Structures are given as C-alpha cells and as structure tokens.
Structure 1
Amino acid sequence: MASSKSIGPTRYSRLARAIGAALALATSGAALAQDAAADAAPDAQATELDRVIVTANKREEDIREVAVSMTRIGEQQLENLNATQMSDYASYVPGLQVQSSGTPGQVQVSMRGIAALSPGSTVGTYVDETPVGSNSLYQQATLYQLDLLPYDVESIEVLRGPQGTLYGAGAMGGLIKYTMRQPDVAVREFRVGGGVSFPEDGESGFNYRIGMNLPIVEDALAIRASFARNALPGYIDNLVDGRKDINQGHQTSARASLRWEGEGSSVQFAAMRQEVESDDNAVMALDPLTRRPVSGLSNYIHVDEPFRKEIDHYSLTFDRDLGFADFISATSYADTHTAVRSDVTLSYGEYPLAFLAADPTLEAGSSYLDNVLDMTQFTQEFRLQSKSGQRFEWLLGAFHSREKGDNYQYVALNQLDGSPLPAPWDGIIGVLGELYIPSTFEETAVFANGSFAFTDRFKIGAGVRFSRNDQEFTQNVVAGVLLPIATQDNTSSEDVFTWSITPQFQLGPDSMVYAKASTGYQPGGPNVVSVGLPSAVDSSTLTSYELGWKSAFASRRVLLDLVAYQVDWEDIQVASLVNGVSGLVNGGEATSRGLEASLQWRPTPGLTLGLNGAYNDAVIDEDFPVIVVPLDPDLPGGVLEINTGLKGDRMPYVPDLTVSATVDYYFSLRNGWSVGVGGGYRWVDDRTNATTEREVIAIAEPRTVLDTTITEPLVIDGYGALDVYASLSNGAWTLRGYVKNAADKRAYSTMTDVTGALTGVTHHYAASPIQPRTVGLELDFRF
C-alpha cells in the first residue's frame, strides 16, 4: 500500500476538499432542578418546595402533573448565576448541550444526543407564543441559535425530547421557550441596576439595565418596557500583532409590551430587539501535540473576526374566552441580521502556493470568509382549546410560517499584510468565491392534542400534526475560482406527519409515572445543484420512547424525578462533497439512550440542595454515505472515497455524563433585610468534536485500493467548574456578588484543527474556552 504522502492525488484531494469547504454553500455548519425556585426572592421561612407552573402543553399546568421531561429556570436563578447567555446555565440543565464558538449567539444546541450534524435546527426556540429562528437549510440555524440576554425574562422552559405535535418543525430534539414578563394592569413598578465584572487576565466589563411596568387605564391597560446593556469583557490576546483583550463586545436587549384586558378577552402587543456585537471571538490556540495553550489566553488572528447579530421581533397575541373553550391567535414577525467574518489565513492563505510553477515569487497570504445572513419570518397560529381541569381536555390548531432569507458568502485572498495580491494575481485569485443564496421556506400545518382522564389516577394524552412545506432557493455564484460562475434554481415540497401518545398514572397524591412515545422531524429542502447530488434532501425523523417518574416526599421537602429514554434517529442529514460542491444527503441511523435524574431537598427552612445528573449514550449505527471525488487527471481512473462518519462513532459534542449540584441558603436579618448565599458545581464528561473520517484512494476499475487514511475526531477533556454568589436584599435594594468558574478551570467548549488546505499541516488547534474566573458585583433598586 502506497503512502498517502508519496502520490499526487492526496494533494489534489486536499484542494478538492478545501474548495468544497471554503464556501460550503451553507450546508455545514447552582443545579437547576426540574422544579425551579420561585421567581421572587425565596421565603427564608418556607419548608415546602415551591409549586411551579409551566406552559409545555400550551396551557398553564403544575410541572409535577405534566408528562414531559423538562426544566424551568426562574428569574431568581438566572440572577443568582448572573446568566447573560445560554452557556451560563446550560450545564445545570440535564440533557442540554451547548457549544459556544466564542460569543453569545454563536452557539450550537442539542438535547439528548441529537447533535447538530446539518444546518437545519434540531432544537426549536419560542418566545412566549411564537417561534423564533429559521427552519430552512440555508440560514445556518444550528450555528446561530437565539441566545437572549435574559433581562425581563420571567422563566426559561427547557423541554427535552421531540415536541413535533405542538411545536412543529425543528423541535425534534427538544424546545427552549423564553417566557417574558407581561404587563400588569394593577402594579406600578420601576427597576434600575448595574454592575461590573473582572475576568482573570482580562479587561473589566460594565453593564446597566432599567425597566418599568406602568398601568395606563386601571385594571384594563398597561405597558411594560425594559432596556439592558451588557459589556462582554475581553480576555483573548493576539499572538500575531500583540494586541490585548481583542474579544470585547456587548449585548443589548430592548423590549416594550402593551396589554389590554377586557371582560373575557385580552390583547398583547410586544416589540423586542436583541443585539450582540463583538470585535473578535473568544477562541484560543493550543499546541497540536501537547494540547496545552500556546501562550495562555491567546490566538493567532491575521484578520479580525467581528460578529454581529440583530433580531427585531414583534408579536400580537389575542385571547378570547368563549365560555366552553378559549380561542388564541398568536402572530409574529421577525427580522434577523447575522454577519460573521472568519479568519481562514492559516487554512486557505496557502492557495497562492499552488501556482508557484507559474510565478515563483508568490507567497502565502491572508484570507477571510464573510458570511451575511438576512431573514424575515412571519408566523400565524390559531388555537381553540378546552378549559383546564376537565376530564377531557382538547386542543385544535392551525399554523402558517413564511421565511424569506438571503445568504451571502465571500472568500477573499490577499497578501499577508492585508494588501491586494500583486497583479495579475489579484484579478485571478484575489476573490476565491462570491455567491448569493436567496431562499424561501413556507409551511402550513394543522394539529390536535388531547387527554382523557379515565379515572382520578389514570389519563392518556395524544397528539397529531400534519405539515406541508414548500421551499425555493437560488444558487448564484458571481465570482471566484472555487466554483463555476452560474445561476441555478431548485425547489422542493414535502408532507410530514408526527404523533405522540402519553399514558400517565397517579401512584399517590405526590407521585406520578408516565410513558411517552413521540416523533419529530428536521425539515429537508432543495439541495445544492450539482451532478451527483440529489435534487432535494428529505426530512430527518426520529422516534422517542420515554418512561418517567415524578415524586415528592416528606411533605414536599424532597422532589425526585427520574427519566429513561431511547431515541431512534433515521435519515440523518449529512454533508456530501461531489465535484468540489458541498451538499446534503440522507444517510445513516443513530440511537441515543439515556437516564436523567433530578433531586431537590429542603432539609431546613431557607436551605435548598439540588442535584442533577444525565447519562447519554448516543452513537451512529451505520456508516454515512460514501462521497466519491474523481481524481482525473492526476490519477487516471482514480477516485477519492470519503466517509464523514462511521458506525460506532459517538455523536459530536455529546458527553456521556453530566452532573451538577447546588446549594442555596436564605436567612432573614433585622428590618426586612435578608441574605442569600449559594453556589453550583457543574461537571461535564469528555466529548468528541466530530465523527470519524475515512479517506480511500482507489482505482475504480478494476477496484484497487491505493491508500486509506483514518482521521479520528479530537477528544475534548471533561471538566468541573464552581460558581458562587452572595446577596443582601431588603425587597427594594439588592446587592449581589458572584464568581464564575471560581477555580479558573481551563476547559473548552469547542475545539477544531487549523490545517493548511494545500500542505495538510496542522498549525494549531482552535478552542473556545469556558469563561475564565470572573468576579462581579451587581446592584439593583426596585420602587
């Protein structure tokens, strides 16, 4: 067998893969227990754990009576953790995995091992009654999940397992639902606050916030408004030019809502704007041999990597009591803009070296990839649902969504100092690629959900949903050398049916067992137009089986939840490279099995202990489809066969085990003052950053294997981190101090190799660290 370094096709294969990956055509891409504490400051004298109301089934219910595995994170918990982004609380939620690429909003989310293997979303996002985020394959939904700055958020509900019947496309792995604080027609309230933070070896940050609730017409009309700005402290240095703390940025959140309440009806309008802007990413360089930092919290940046995401979201909700049932109309409109620049100098800056035979003076240069995503989304849902508490509860609904998106990609190649390449090469390879991908996604669905209580103890719930989506997109390559300049269109249509059935049995007043079988799907869509690729990729579907127990002991001073599940995933959407073009194909199956446990205990008044754990075994059941790249003319009759995933691979970024524990203690002082102290410890097992890749160089006829190369994924070590806080409050004033990652543990959320596309030499590993030790102080005043 010949060495891969001794034959020409290997260098060709690296260039072929570089061509496909450079543009990728948008196809790659305190323990919080099940029952959260109250949103207000906890009662230091309470002995019984709080009852919590959730809206998982689109009606208000006690979380202990809902046959859904879920976690509710209340406002007080978010404040205790000083949570400003999803990565601050994700490790405290069983079954939830979040991978940060360096800033809020650059996150991938998965649940129960259903990893983000394609651009389509696997975890849905709702804000109150309306969905937010694209279901198209061309808006990079998995890379840029909604990541709200949680000011004016009443709670965050995390629903695990497929939610396809009630919440539709893109929620096959689960759902994250932000419940915002509503205007109160009876209460006048104002709030101001601010704080400072000091990261280890970094630039200090400052934040401020203001909010109000103001009745306009007594018991009828009220307005609520808020604004918050949070500085993202910098702590990454640049090894190329010596600049310090280059990853500074900010988050802003603005929201206003107007609510009218009449006799038997209500109307609420809300407008929200969220913005994230950073100068560079929080990514550091590791030595590829030792996996140790090259030079502390620092990275090689030849071209700055700014990131900006803006979302304007408007919603209108109408609720009418019809006597026998409630009618709800939920309308939304969102306008989202995402712009990100990636420094690909150490990968594609080698490209001029491929032309040394024509011009020996050429040298490696600098390169960057710009990706700009713009999307508008309109949604409308109508529901008619029975009153809660009846023996037969039912819900009928209809849903429509329309997305219009643009995806712009531009790959530039310059000299190493950023100036244009010398003539004539600036006009030949100065632009490696430029293309536009406009697309539309339109979906209409009808759904029904219901439950019937056969006895006081036994009840069965069921749901169905029928959806149809129609999609269009255009592949418009306008410049560059990596892809042929051309304009091509494609369309797709698809019908999808999902269902769920949930029997539950009340063992006693505080103990319930349930079983759930349900399905979900990730929408397919029109594929990139290229010979060898299917014209459309089908939906990825899964079936989930779940068995759960929710219980309370010792007069509700102990709450214990246990869940076991198995998820069968079929028609996984995976990347395929054909003729230098990256698209999607359906291929491969996977199975995810796991256990989740959550315990809360209040041994004495004011003291709450929490313990969460999740075990997950998520593996690929069969090899992903083979990608075949012809190697002519370098090797007549030769082909490069690529598998991007092999049977037995672990799902990327899915730890086998996660554990978290918290302690919260509140006690009263004189004159209405109280003290709160607490902390949380989060432990995350090791993970892989990808699936195994196998490359085979062969002669097609007669088939002769010349070389086989196996590239195994990187293994990211597990870690444990400690967070602590203390607060002093009298109801109006609250002073709170906190320390995130108190031991300054150096651990990583994501990791990838930075390898030259031409030489195949790995320069370093790029890793996103968890936030270094950060000390902060916050002050709030309510009146």
Structure 2
Amino acid sequence: MNAFQPARPWCRSPLSMAVAASLACAAAVPALAQDVGALAAGDASTLDTVVVTANKRVENVRDVGASISVVGERELENLGASSLSDYAALIPGLQVQNAGSPGLTSVSLRGISALSSGATVATYIDEVPVGSSGIYQGAGALMLDLLPYDISRVEVLRGPQGTLYGAGAIGGLLKYVTHAPDAAGREFRVGLGGRAVQDGGHDWNGRFGASLPLHDDRLGLRVSAARNGLPGYTDNAVDGRRDVNTGEQTGARAALSWDGDTVDVGLSVLQQRVRSDDRASVALDPQTRAPLAGELSGRSWQRQPFDKKLTLASLSLAWDLGWGDFVSATGWSNTKTMDRIDTTVQFGEVADQLLGLPEPGSSFTRYDFDLDKLTQEFRLTSASGGRFEWMVGVFYTKEDAEQSQFAWLGQRDGSPLPAGGEAYSTLARIALPSTYEELALFANGSWRIGERFKLDAGIRQARNEQWFSQNVSAGILAPIGDAPGESSEDVFTWSLSPQFKLADDVLLYLRAATGYQPGGPNVALAGMPPSVDSSMLSSYEAGLKSQFAERRVQLDLAAFRIDWEDIQVASSFNGIGGLVNGGEAKSEGVELAALFRATDRLLLGLNAAYTRASVKNDFEPTVIPQDGFDVILNTGLGGDRMPYVPKLSWSATAEYAFATAGGLDGQVGAALRWTGDRVNDTTERQRLTAPGDPSTVLGEALTPPLELDSYRALDLYAGIGRDRWSLRAYVNNVTGEDGWSSIAPIDGALTGARGHLAAVPIQPRTFGIEFDYRF
C-alpha cells in the first residue's frame, strides 16, 4: 500500500534500533456460465449460449479465442454471493485473498500475484475502468469488491489483456456487467432476506429494482438499491468483544438509456459502500499454529474499522454509421478508503524500549486513500460479420490521488503517554499526493480466411507521466520534510491469436499476448532507485473449446506459460521500504472447465486449475549502507513459490431442476470447492557485508514464507417459485471446515520479536434465506 505495511515483517532481523515508516511497500469457459432461467425452465436439452463483451464486441463466448469465465446473476443469487470470495472457486485460476473484510481484497490470476502495491488484475464496470493505475493507492490490496446486485454477469478474462484494456491488466481482467434499462418493458422487484453464521451473528438484507419505459419505447430508466448485512463471527481476546467483524454493504444505481435509430446513449450513476466495524482475524501461536485465545478469536488492542466508498458516473454513446460503429465511453469515479489497523505489537515496544516505560504501549495506524479518476475512450469499429473486422481507438486517463498516514502511540490501556513522552505520541504523519496521466492508441484486427480459420491481432502504444511527493510533517518514524519525484515511460503491448474451427462446435486456438503493470516515481530512501520501471509479461496459451453429444457436453481445456520480467517488489529494512524491479518469474499450468447436461433437468460441472508459479532467480538485491557495514537485502529467491497460488484448485457443481404438480418450478444444487496448500510470501535474505565489499559476508539471516494448508468446503442451495415470486435458501461451508484465506506474521519493529500470526479464516458455516417478488 506504499505505507507502513505491518502485515509484512517490519524487521525480520533486528540489525539496528531505527524505527521508520515503510513508505512504498505498501481454458477456457467455466462451468456454471448459464443464463438466467436456463434450468428453471426444466425443459432445456442443450447447453445455453453465453454472450460476452470481452473483446469490446458482443460475441458468443464459444467463438472467442481466449480464456473467459462468466458467472451469471442466477449463480450469484443461488450462492448468496456478496463478495469475490463467494464465487472465486467457480473460475479456474482465480485466487482471492481476504484480509478480513470485503474490500480488503487481493486478486491473482494464473499465478500472477501482487508482489507490490500495484494491482495485477484490472477492474471494469461496463465500459469504465475503476481503481488506480498508479502505485500509491494500494490497488493490489484494495481491489473493488462490488456487491453483486443489479449485475447481469461477471466476466473474468485470464491472461494479459494489455492491448484492449491497458495498464494493470497484466494478469487479466475482472469486468462487472450491469443490467441495462429496458425502454420497452416495465418491471419492479423487491427482495428481503437474512443470513446467520453459526456461533456468530446474524443480519438482514434488502433490495429494490425498477425498470421503466419513459418515452415512446426509446427512453428507459433503471433504478436499484440494496443493503447487505455482514454478520460478525470473530471475537477479540484483549477486550472481550464478540462478533467484532460486523459490517454492511450498501449500493444504489440509476441508469438512463436512449435507443435511437442510429445513436444510442447511456448515462449511469452508481454508488457502493462497504463498512466493517473490525476485521476478521484469528491469533495463532507462531510455533504450533494453534489458536492462542479461542478457535475464532483475535488479539488487537485497538479497533480496526474499514470503510470504502465508490461513486461512479459514466456516459456512453454508440453511433451506427452503417459500415461501422463509433463508440465513446466516458467515466469519472471517486474512491475514498479508510483502513485503520492495530499496530500495538509493531510499535508498542517503542514505549518501553525507547521511552523506558514499564510496559509496551498501544498503537494504531490509519491509512486514508482518496482517488479521483477521469477516463475517456473513443473507438471506431467495423461492422461485425465480415471477412475482416477491425477496431482503432484512443484512451486517456487522469488520476489525482492522495494517501495519508497517521500512526499513534499511547499506553497499553489506551490512555495518552505520560508526561515527557508526548513527543512520541505521533509516530508519523505522512501525506503522499500523486498524479497519473496516460494516453494510449490501440488497434485490433480479425481476419477470416475461409470458413474455418481466423487470425486476431492487436497492438497498443501507451505513455504515462506521473508525479508524487513524500511529505512527512510530524513523527519519529521518517525524516521530516518533502521529497517530490516524477517519472514517464512509453509501453508497447501486442497480441496474436490464430484460431481454427475443427468442427462447428470445436474451436482450437493459440494466443500470444503481453501486458504491463505501470511503474512510477519511488520514495526518497537510501538504496532505492528514484523510479521503478513497468513490469512486463509475455503469455503463450493453447486452448480447445468443444461441445459434443448433441451439445449436452462442453469440455474446454487451456494450457499456458507466462514469463514475467522486471517484477515490482517491495524491499524494506527496519521498516524503511521502497519498490525495486526485482527479477523474473514464470507460471505454467493447465485449466479445465466442463459441463454435462446429464438429463434435461440435471446439470453437472467441473472447474480445475493446475498452476506452477515460481520465482526464476534471486530478486535484485538492495544495498543499504549502515554504520560500519552494509546490508544486502533480497526479498525473493530463485525457486520460491509465488504467494497464494495453489498448485491445484478445483470445484465440482451439480444442479437439479424440478416442477411440481401445483405449477411450481425449483432447483436444488451443490458446489464442492477445494484449494491446495499455499505460501504467504517469498523468502527474504539479509546479508551483512563489509562496507563496499559484498564478497565479505559477516552474517546472514533467512526468513522463509509461512505455509497455509489446503482446505475444502461444500455449499448447498435450493429454490422454488412461480411466475412473480421466488424463495431461495442456502448453506455455505456446510460441514464447517477450517481454512485460512490469508496469514501474516505480527513482529515488533525494534526487537523483531514475533508476537503472533494473524490469520483470516474462510467463512464459517453460514445460513441464508432470500425472497424476491417481481411485478
């Protein structure tokens, strides 16, 4: 997050008594990609056609030579999904790390993990990118976790998408597609539900939606609002609070659309907010991994609230020119995020170690992020269906952002420091304003050669210019003063995809593509470069999309290899941190997605991904001069596994649709998901050497990553309804399996002593019931 980042060890080896701020550490188509109502009808004998807009055209996903997963509205509702973690298992190669609340989320695809503060997966809502492209807004750990109400589908593109989607889509793309207004039909929908966590809390949710024709079947309005309660289920052993991680998600949207003879116009305003009173966390013994104070109990001396609010306004225009289309997509968004964490273990020892107080103190660190983002895209596209289809476009974005940090120290009971220690109560007050501006030109072409062969190709040339300043106004953790920096870079990306139709329902494709993660100006710290370059990635993929047995069976395979260069990694020593271009990594694997309509009413599915992602060589060392010796720091070693990437993950699904004699339609279903073992980080190595002589090693310390065990979970759901109403019930994690979504060591900043491990559990057994009525 380009901040203190206490989740990563502050001082893995206590080589000095300095305390400072970490300023810059901070296959295929899936199963269950079915349209709404496919099974409820109960008479479908073949698998459904799924439409996507991944290539910025409306296409059948079966005809796209790329790995695209689609999760529809119906699947989201059946599972009671309220965040990415709830449906990530349905998407091969997607991993979601939850840091204790929706919105405290890190996402990786195909083993491309976020090793720095920048995101590796881009996020779009319809035509508009959201989230920061820069490195000072914590985009890698604060991915948009949209409450999926009034969402038609979620599209996930695996592999780099640099030519069409640009910065940040180095690992892939997460795209939320909202419901469009219907200018010809009228619909109202209301819903109410509740959920409860076993041995935890309970809460309610409600929703409303309406689609209204306004003028002559040309002008349509759609409005919606939703509230989802988040029951708490973890306790705090320090103050005895129970179910501390309660919260809520709220959202509202209004959209207008004009359906003209040649010009269509859409206007949308969306607001989403997630608020958590505290974060889910369990304190574990560093040696035995046993809970220190109870099965679902954490240790924090300060409350840890989280709040994120997104406001998005978008304007789209599509002009049918007869021979092609001109499209304009304009977006403006403001994202405000507040994240406060307990840093008592990290900084509390300042009170006794430096101030001489009889016991360690208590501390919190608060991060505030404020991002204004303006985007504009123009593109000209040929008509679909010809032998040669093309697209040319220009994209512009401007971000004005600020990150602020405040670290406070008091006595262990929360009271202010005693007389004489007031100067240490503000450990740091830091502002990091930044700007990011980018202009890109892109072009795509598709050639059909004969009836079976097609060749897709794309290029993109982008230039970004960035500025930031490191402004420290108070505290002992960093030198007081301002240190501005700036950078600029040109980036070229390309893609090439030959495709061959072996039969009407069998597509064989190859895809080579590149992507990039923007660099930027670096913090002003000894041993750190003034700026970091973009991370570049090359991907090679072979895929097969097939349907057979009279379109009752769908079997898709994809094999890939990814080479990642100039990886941006966080490098920190004694809490002082920056970014460096560390080295190289590779990821290779196979993905499978299968659907089998066993009968007209029974649908079976299987998703699986096998991924081997590892660091190729030792990351570039950072040389940090000290008094009488140098510290040579590597934050990753050759052979390390990429963080939070299991070698094997899979999910199996089944759904049976039925109809009663009384005219009711319903379904029952299950999803069994399994995630293999993972590691939370790469290896860190610190070497003490003679000044200016790296060959003379005075000492060495290795800190390996923490391991997370595999886990499995079973979800069940059922629903019944008729015409206007529906009733659904679900139980997630039916057997109450234990498992960790993420884990981090909590170490003292001065002594390096490990207090405990903070682990975020997967959602315990959760019950829910939902009722919807349409009229």
Q: What TM-score results when the alignment is normalised by the length of structure 1?
A: 0.95
Larger deviation, residues 534-543 vs 638-647 = 638-647
Distance 1:504 1:35, change over 3 A: farther
Which of 718, 722, 746 is matched with 2:714 structurally?
722
Q: Judging changes above 3 Å, is the alpha-carbon distance between structure 1 residues 610 and 213 closer, same or farther for their aligned structure 2 residues?
A: same
Quick one: which of 744, 761, 766 aligns to 1:769?
Answer: 761
Please give the residue correspondences for 1:140-151 in structure 2 after superposition, counting only pairs within 5 Å: 140-151=138-149
Change (3 A) 1:184 1:366: same
On the 8 A contact 2:38/2:48 being kept in 1, the answer is no
**Aligned residue among 372, 377, 393 for 2:373:** 377
Partner of 1:33: 30
Tell me which residue corresponds to 1:417.
413
> Deviation at 1:529?
1.8
Could you tell me how far apart the structure 1 residues matched to 2:689 and 2:723 are?
A: 73
Quick one: distance in 2 between partners of 1:537 and 1:211?
Answer: 46
Q: Work out whether residues 199 and 774 of structure 1, in 8 Å CA contact, stay in contact via their aligned partners in 2.
A: yes
Aligned counterpart, 2:653: 662
User: Is the Cα–Cα contact under 8 Å of residues 530 and 578 in structure 1 kept in the other structure?
Assistant: no
Residue 731 of structure 2 corresponds to residue 739 of structure 1 = yes
Amino acid at match of 1:616: T
Q: Are positions 1:688 and 2:683 aligned together?
A: no
- Letter of the 1:745 partner, please give it: E
Letter in 2 for 1:182: A
Rate the CA distance shift 1:78–1:371 in 2: closer, same or farther, 3 A.
same
* Conservation of the 8 A alpha-carbon contact between 1:578 and 1:627: no
CA distance in 1, matches of 2:754, 2:526: 32
Distance 2:686 2:66 in 1: 43
What secondary structure sits across from 1:162 in the alignment? Answer: coil
Kept in 2, the 8 Å contact 1:41–1:76? The answer is: no
CA shift, 1:306, in A, is: 0.3
Which residues of 2 match residues 272-351 of structure 1 at below 5 A? 272-294=270-292, 295-351=294-350
Q: Is 1:757 matched up with 2:749?
A: yes
Q: Is the 8 A contact 2:32 2:75 kept in 1?
A: no
Q: Does 2:704 match 1:712? A: yes
1:439-518 to structure 2, matched below 5 A, reads 439-518=434-513
Q: Which runs of 5+ in 1 are unaligned?
A: 1-8
Specify the SS of the correspondent of 2:598: strand
Secondary structure of the corresponding residue to residue 437 of structure 1: strand
Which of 218, 221, 239 is equivalent to 1:220?
218
Counterparts of 1:272 and 1:435 in 2: how far apart (Å)?
Answer: 31
Post-superposition offset of 1:696? 1.8
TM-aligned CA deviation for residue 240 of structure 1: 0.5
Residues 123-167 of structure 1 deviation map (CA, whole Å, 9 limit, x = unaligned): 001111111110001000011101100000000000000000001
- Contact residue 248 and residue 280 of structure 1 kept, 8 A: yes
Distance 1:747 1:185 in 2: 47
Instruction: Name the structure 2 match of 1:174.
Output: 172
Post-superposition Cα deviations, 1:417-460, rounded to whole Å, max 9, x if no partner, equal: 11111122112x11111110100000000100010001100110
Residue matched to 1:135: 133
**Following the alignment from structure 1 to structure 2, what is the Cα–Cα distance between the partners of residues 487 and 701?**
29
1:681-726 Cα deviation digits (max 9, x unpaired): 0000000000011122233366532322211100000000000001
CA distance in 1, matches of 2:12, 2:509: 55
Alpha-carbon separation, structure 1, partners of 2:87 and 2:189: 24
1:531 to 1:695, Cα distance in 2 relative to 1, 3 A: closer
Query: Matched residues in 2 for 1:396 and 1:672: separation?
Result: 52
State how far apart, in whole Å, the 2-side matches of 1:648 and 1:520 are: 23
Asked if structure 1 preserves the Cα contact closer than 8 Å seen for 2:15 and 2:574, the reply is no
What is the rounded CA distance, in whole Å, between the counterparts of 1:73 and 1:580 in structure 2? 41
Relative to structure 1, is the Cα distance of residues 11 and 380 closer, same or farther in structure 2, using a 3 angstrom cutoff?
A: closer
State the one-letter code of the partner of 1:375: L
Which segments of structure 1 move beyond 4 Å, counting only runs of 4 or more? 9-12
Q: Distance in 2 between matches of 1:362 and 1:410?
A: 25
Deviation of 1:761 after TM superposition, in Å, equals 2.2
Other-structure match for 1:534: 529
CA contact (8 A) 1:32 1:73 kept: no
Identical aligned residues as a percent? 51
- For the Cα contact (< 8 Å) 1:40–1:75, is it kept in 2? no
Distance in 1, Cα, partners of 2:711 & 2:71: 23
Amino acid at match of 1:298: S
Which one-letter code corresponds to 1:390 in the other structure? G
* Worse overlay, 306-315 or 415-424: 415-424
C-alpha contact 1:546 1:566 (8 A) present in aligned 2? yes
Q: Is the contact between residue 12 and residue 752 of structure 2 (CA under 8 Å) also seen in structure 1?
A: no
Distance 1:571 1:493, change over 3 A: same
- Post-superposition Cα deviations, 1:462-488, rounded to whole Å, max 9, x if no partner, equal 000000001111110000111110111
Deviation at 1:35, TM superposition (A): 6.4
Distance 1:369 1:388, change over 3 A: same
Structure 2 residue 638 is matched with structure 1 residue 647: yes
Measured in 2, the distance between the counterparts of 1:780 and 1:718 equals 36
Aligned position for 1:5: none
Q: Distance in 2 between matches of 1:117 and 1:11?
A: 21
TM-score (norm 2): 0.96
CA–CA distance in 1 between the matches of 2:336 and 2:80? Answer: 27
Distance 1:579 1:693, change over 3 A: closer
Distance 1:52 1:737 in 2: 26
**Which residue pairs with 2:82 in the alignment?**
84
Of 543, 547, 568, the residue aligned with 1:548 is: 543
2:612 to 590, 594, 617: 617
For the residues of structure 1 that align with 2:661 and 2:720, how far apart are their CA atoms?
12
The alpha-carbon distance between structure 1 residues 670 and 408, as it changes in their structure 2 partners (threshold 3 A), is same
8 A Cα contact 1:32 1:92, kept in partner: no
Using the TM superposition, give the Cα deviation of residue 12 of structure 1 relative to its aligned residue in structure 2, in angstroms.
Answer: 4.8
DSSP-derived class of the 1:13 partner: coil
Cα shift at 1:606: 1.4
Distance 2:682 2:248 in 1: 34
User: 1:363 aligned to 341, 356, 359, which one?
Assistant: 359
* Offset of residue 84 of structure 1: 0.5
Return closer, same or farther for 1:127/1:10 CA change in 2, 3 Å cut-off: closer
1:242 maps to what in 2?
A: 240
> By how many angstroms is 1:638 displaced?
1.8
What letter matches 2:420 in structure 1? Answer: P
- In the TM superposition, residue 504 of structure 1 has moved relative to its aligned partner by 0.3
Matched, 1:675 2:666: yes
Q: Say which of 397, 403, 423 aligns to 1:401.
A: 397
Matched, 1:73 2:71: yes
In the superposition, relative to structure 1, how do residues 64 and 569 fare at CA in structure 2: closer, same or farther (>3 Å)?
same
Whole-Å separation in 1 of the counterparts to 2:264 and 2:347: 57
CA separation in 2, counterparts of 1:501 and 1:11? 47
The residue number in structure 2 matching 1:434 is 429
Query: Offset of 1:41 from its aligned partner?
Result: 5.3
Distance in 2 (alpha carbons) for counterparts of 1:344 and 1:287: 18
| One-letter identity of the residue aligned with 1:90 | A
Which residue in the other structure is 2:553 paired with?
Answer: 558
Q: Distance in 2 between matches of 1:677 and 1:75?
A: 16
Q: Check 1:186–1:367 CA distance in 2 against 1; reply closer, same or farther (3 A cut).
A: same
Change (3 A) 1:288 1:10: closer
Q: Take 1:520 and 1:441, find their aligned partners in 2: how far apart are those partners?
A: 18
CA distance in 2, matches of 1:527, 1:330: 32
User: What is the CA–CA distance in structure 2 between the aligned matches of 1:15 and 1:256, rounded to whole Å?
Assistant: 55
